[in-house]
Amino acid sequence: MSTRFIAVSGFLGAGKTTTLGALARTLQARGRRVAVVTNDQGEQLVDTKVAAVTTGDVAEVTGGCFCCRFEDLETVVSAAIERGADTVLAEAVGSCTDLQATVVRPLRARYGAGFTVAPLVAVVDPLRHGDLGRSLGLSDERSDLAYLYDRQLADADVVAINKIDLTRPGETGRIRADLRRRCPHALVLEYSAVTGEGLAALGDVLTGDGGGVRPRDLGLDYDRYAAAEARLAWLNHALRLDPAGAAPVPPARWGEAALTHLGASAARHGWTVGHAKVAIDTGGRITKLSLVDAARRPVADLDASPYATAAPPAAGVRVPVTAVLNARIACRPHELDAAVTAAVAAADAATGTVSTADAGPPSSFAPSYPTPTHRLPATAGA
């Protein structure tokens, strides 16, 4: 069996990490040996901690998108193959596009016949898609973030509508029809990474022969692409959480308080939330919450609150608790730093926690101009 590489793209907050975990479980149940590769502009990734819950074979490509860190991607993919993986699931940064030319075709050229690259998937959050006209100005041709989102859809072979468990059937149907109109080149599927509904069909497409995929070039203005990424302040922040008193740190409550406060700050200032997520490790058990819109409440994707299913530790034994907070919000970096500092303080106050940052105060940045290692035309991958 040749190695299969499955790349998952999609805008920030679409549920790519949850999708990778669900796909990994589905493919493992079919007998495949799955490795996961996460990707980010920075380090300290929530996604890596979450992926490790599903499979022990997890690697990172950090410091830039797959396209700009292609040699790093090659290295981790080759290492996964050497460890025995026959399927590599790779989650691209949520602000990345042009993967066909900069990742898919170069990988095919690099590995040859013993390596199958599956159809490229763009994951869509139907709730975000429904309100993109309001929050990102999809109807406004001047919106660089809307342009980025549109190019992600145009680049994909499969447009996968996630979170159908959170939408009404009629709403899902309207979004499906809109995406089929926008993406006549792509197969449009719908599923829920949480409930598993429709996931088998997505798995079938990604492990099939890909016969319906036709190579094509993506028209992309890299200046607009870079401008869209630069609109987002980008923060990865690691903390140690200690109880102020005798009671243990409540991870789900801490994460909810932090993200709720951060969302309120974004709503107050009119900032678009790409995503904000926090993973809290309580003695090896992961609690993960996410926020994808300032108007929504945080969602608990994984809740491993301490001692929920296990006996508490012996008297006097303190379980180490650490948190990683990732945020991508359309504001200035210094504004995000201040908002996260306030959110952490609010979470500490709400839960009786004392937090200590691993590397000092929050330090946000804006992604640099994308400079892919390779950019091959469609004829190179035909």
CA angle centred on 46, ends 42 and 49, rounded to 5°: 120
CA angle 96, 140, 158 (to 5 degrees): 40
Helix (H), strand (E) at residue 188: strand 187-190
Fold of the CATH domain 3-227: Rossmann fold (3.40.50)
Backbone angles phi, psi at 359, to 5 degrees: -130, 40
CA-to-CA distance for 361 and 338, rounded, in angstroms?
A: 9
Phi, psi of 40 (to 5 degrees): -160, 160
Q: What pLDDT is stored for residue 212 in this prediction?
A: 67
Q: Could you tell me which residues are beta bridge partners of residue 123? A: 10, 160
- Residue 156's DSSP bridge partners are none
Tokens representing 16?
């790519």
Please tell me the distance from the alpha carbon of residue 182 to that of residue 156, in angstroms, as a whole number.
12
Residue 48 CA to residue 208 CA, distance in Å, equals 27
Beta carbons of 349 and 253 less than 8 angstroms apart: no
Angle between helices 46-54 and 16-29 (to 10 degrees): 20
Buried b (16+ CB within 10 A) or exposed e, 68-80: bbbebbbebbeeb
pLDDT at 239: 96
Mean pLDDT throughout 17-24? 93
Structure confidence by residue, pLDDT tens digits, 232-286: 999 999 999 999 988 899 999 999 999 999 999 999 999 999 999 999 999 888 9
Q: Mean per-residue pLDDT for 88-115?
A: 94
Q: What pLDDT is stored for residue 306 in this prediction?
A: 46
Once rounded to an integer, what is the mean pLDDT over residues 222-239? 95
Average pLDDT over residues 53-82: 92
Tokens standing for residue 247: 């009671």
- 3-class DSSP assignment, residue 105: helix
Task: Quote the CA–CA distance of 92 and 84 in Å, as a whole number.
Answer: 22
| Three-state DSSP state, 226 | helix
Give 171-187 pLDDT, tens digit per residue.
899 999 999 999 999 99
Of the candidates 359, 367, 364, 361, the one whose C-alpha atom is nearest the C-alpha of residue 334 is: 364
pLDDT at res. 315 = 53
Q: What is the 3-state secondary structure (H, E, C) of 175-187?
A: HHHHHHHHCCCCE
| CA distances, 24 to each of 38, 164, 196, 253 (Å) | 13, 19, 12, 29
Residues in a beta bridge with 160: 123, 189
Contact status, residue 67 vs residue 226, Cβ threshold 8 Å: no
3-state percent breakdown (helix, strand, coil) of the chain, nearest 5: 40, 25, 40
* All structural domains of the chain with their residue ranges: 3-227, 232-357
Among left, alpha and beta (phi > 0; psi -120 to 50; other), residue 201 is: alpha
Share of the chain above pLDDT 70, in %: 91
- The answer, yes or no, to whether residue 382 has pLDDT greater than 80, is no
What CATH fold (topology level) applies to the domain 232-357? Alpha-Beta Plaits (3.30.70)
Reported as a pLDDT band with limits 50, 70 and 90, residue 211 is low
Q: How confident is the model at residue 316 (pLDDT cuts 50, 70, 90)?
A: low
Inform me whether the pLDDT recorded for 350 exceeds 50: yes
Tell me the one-letter amino acid at 193. Answer: A
Furthest C-alpha separation in the chain: 66
Alpha carbons 126 and 39: distance in angstroms, whole number: 23
Q: In this predicted structure, what is the pLDDT of residue 307?
A: 41
**Which residues sit opposite 159 in a β-bridge?**
122, 188
Report which DSSP code applies to 102: I
Question: 3-227 and 232-357: same fold?
Answer: no
Positive or negative torsion for Cα 119, 125, 126, 129:
negative
Neighbours of 58 (CB within 10 A): 23
